[in-house]
Structure formats: structure tokens, C-alpha cells
Amino acid sequence: MQVMPAYERDPYRTELEVAVVEAGEDTGRPFAVLDDTILYPEGGGQPADRGWLDEVAVVDVRRSGDAIRHHLERPVPPGPARLRLDWARRFDHMQQHTGQHLLTAVALERFGWRTTAFHLGADVSDIELDAPSLTRTQLSALEEAVAAQVRGARSVSARRVTPEEYATLAVRSRGLPEGFAGEIRLVEIKGVDLNTCGGTHLRSTAELEALALLGTEPMRGGTRVFFVAGGRLRRRMAAHEERNAALRAALDAPESDFVALVERRRGEARELERQVGTLLGDLAVLEADALAASPGILLEAHYEGRDASFLQTVARRVAPNLGGRVAFLTAAHERGHFFAVVAGERCPKALSSLGAVVADALGGRGGGAGRIFQGKASSFAARVSALDALLAALSGNG
């Protein structure tokens, strides 16, 4: 007979007097092995429990061979201790895991969809069904069928059976692990499901409170179905209501108008963006023409709040009008600090060398093509120095 740990004997137990029988370190993290435990080790799609060994936090629980290692915030000595369970986390996992068993059983029995994978996430859980797709009508029908079993307050129980007894039972299972030996743990939802599982579960489907299907996505030729149950569903609804209240105030509209209102405002925003883009393009052309009309061998301009696209437009516009001159352009934007060196077609200096002088002075980097060298710097604190270095290079002194 296999010895059952306390988390399996009574998944509702939250405290236990234990003895630390082994203490060590694993990849730099201290751990303790106890003579018994109420903390579930990660496995079967269910995350590990959390808790406290005396006042030391248990940050993970994992199997290591036949032992269960409790990974700790700091080392503890061998000897007696009190183990406490993070019950809120455990009960949440019990609700989601029991919800998965019920959802999987109903999907198979009522609709013929077999579950091929399960993931219990921190906020949302999911199963993968061997159905190529699910319509909204099918999803609603599945959710309602699950709700009927929740209302039925079906008892949930666990037991261990011998391989011989297991062979006689109608068990829903993807099969036992290769080389498995010994007793087999079964979890039963009375009248609905009998399945192999080592996780912790509720006493009744009534404790699920409710289960909601959130949506689907294609996955490996099947369909991933996202769901939440119990307290997660209530918390999710509370967050939705809080968000909707804020949106009602911000949009000054009822919830039924949210989608149409947001779509209209998105369209208006896109049109405004188009108009702003056109105006900025026109402004860049004007800036380039004004710059080209300026005197001197080295022209320079800085554009605050303008991005690389604006700078490129100015550079392309001014380039054909420079002759033997050079323009040094900079633009500061929330996306970064951009610079450009533009050389006229009769400029006696190589564009690459002029660009390198500026990039070096600014502590930035860039590259050139045609008559324009473009780059990016972390700041323009050395802009004046860059301008002086560029002028020196043009004068043959740099």
C-alpha cells in the first residue's frame, strides 16, 4: 500500500505538524524534505502550492525521485516544524482543476470532443479539444451543459485502485505513464466522470460556483478553449464592471453604445492622423526650402518633437539644392534622438567620412546612402561639439 501524503488524504487541511528529515540546496536554492506534507508538488497540469514552514516561505514544491522537495526562501534546520498552506491559492487551483475535469467530461460525453491538453494558468486556464473549430453557438451549448452539472452539486471524490481493478473500470484517461507501477489514483465526479489524476479537487461541483468559457483559438489542428471558474470568475466580473463604469464616464455613453462609439472615434483618429501627416509633410518641405536658402557652407537645423520620418523628408528635399554645401539636421522625439548629414552633389568631402565625424561626436551610429547619412544618438548633449567637428572637417582642419 502506498503512503498517501496529507494533501491527498485531506485536500482541505491547511496546517500540519511535520518534521524536517532532510535539508539541502538545489541549484543555489535551499530545500527541505518533510515526513509528510499538505503542499501539492507541481504535476499533471496543476501548479505547486505555496505556504510557510514555520515563518519561512515555501516558494515551490517539486518531486525529486520518491521525495517531495519544499524549496524555501531561506534554509531551515532539521527537526519539528509547523507547515501552513496558502489556502486561497490552493482553493483557486481546486476550482480550476475540478472545472477542467467537468468541462472535459461534458465536452466528450455530450459533444464528442476529446481533450488533448490542459493548462492551469495564473489568470485563465485552457483545454485543447480535438475539434477543428467551435462556433459561438457550440461554445454556449457547452457552457450551459457544464452549468447544469454545477447546479447538480455532483459529489467529487478520489480513491486509489490496483492495476487489476483499474482494468475493469470505465476510466477516461490518456493512458498511464510508461513504466508506471503500483496503485492508480482516480478522481470521480459522480455520474459524470472517472479519470486518473493526482491533483487536488473540490468535494462537490457546487463549490465550482460557476464556469465561464471566454473564447477559443486554433491550436495544433484542434481548438484551445479558455475558461475561468469560481472566484476567478467573480473577480473577473468585478473588474469588468469597474472598467465599464470608468468607460461609461469617459465616453459619456451606455455600454450598448461602446463598440459603435469607439469604432467611430477610431475612424476619426485615423483621419486626423492622415491630416497631421500631410501637414507635417508640407511643413518639412517648407523647412527644407528655407534651409536651402540660408547662406554658408554648413547649414544646420534642429526640430523638437519631430521624428525620423520628418527628418528624412527635410533631408531628401534639401539635398538637390545644396550644391557644394552640407546640412546637419537633428530631431528629438519620444522615440529617440535622430540626426542626418546631407551633402550636396558638389561637396568635396566624402559623405561617409562626414557622417562618421558626427556619429563619433554624438556617441551615436548610423549609415549613409546616396547623399544622406542618417543615424541615432542617445542624446544631443554634444550637438554643438558635433557641429564644430563637422565644420572643421569641411574646412580641412579635422
pLDDT in tens, 272-322: 999 988 998 999 899 999 999 999 999 999 999 999 999 999 999 999 999
**What's the rounded mean pLDDT across residues 254-262?**
90
- Looking at residue 2, its pLDDT comes to 59
Say how far apart CA 274 and CA 267 lie, in whole Å. Answer: 11
- Looking at residue 368, its pLDDT comes to 85
User: Residue with C-alpha cell 479537487?
Assistant: 201
pLDDT digits (tens, 9 = 90+) for 72-92: 999 999 999 999 999 999 999
- Looking at residue 177, its pLDDT comes to 65
Residues forming beta bridges with residue 18, ordered by sequence position: 81
Residue 180 has pLDDT above 80, yes or no: no
Q: Is the pLDDT higher at 105 or at 181?
A: 105
| Dihedral of the alpha carbons of 146, 148, 151, 154, in degrees to the nearest 10 | -70
Mean pLDDT value across the chain: 93
Q: Using 50, 70 and 90 to split pLDDT, how confident is the model at 377?
A: very high
Residue 231 has pLDDT above 90, yes or no: yes
| Alpha carbon distance, N-terminus to C-terminus of the chain | 88
Contacts of 7 (CB under 8 A, 6+ apart): 13, 37, 38, 39, 40, 49, 200
Say how far apart CA 107 and CA 101 lie, in whole Å. Answer: 10
Kindly state the cell numbers that stand for 273.
492622423
- Looking at residue 337, its pLDDT comes to 96
- Looking at residue 131, its pLDDT comes to 94
**What's the rounded mean pLDDT across residues 190-195?**
94
Say how far apart CA 37 and CA 58 lie, in whole Å. Answer: 12
Checking DSSP bridges between strand 298-304 and strand 326-333, what pairing results, if any? parallel
Kindly state the cell numbers that stand for 94.
481546486
Could you tell me what percentage of the chain is helix, strand and coil, using 3-state DSSP and rounding each to the nearest 5?
Answer: 40, 30, 30
Say how far apart CA 324 and CA 177 lie, in whole Å. Answer: 78
- Looking at residue 104, its pLDDT comes to 96
DSSP 8-state assignment for residue 204 = B
Residue 99 has pLDDT above 80, yes or no: yes
- Looking at residue 116, its pLDDT comes to 93
**Above pLDDT 70, what percent of the chain?**
97
Kindly state the cell numbers that stand for 212.
465561464
- Looking at residue 1, its pLDDT comes to 46
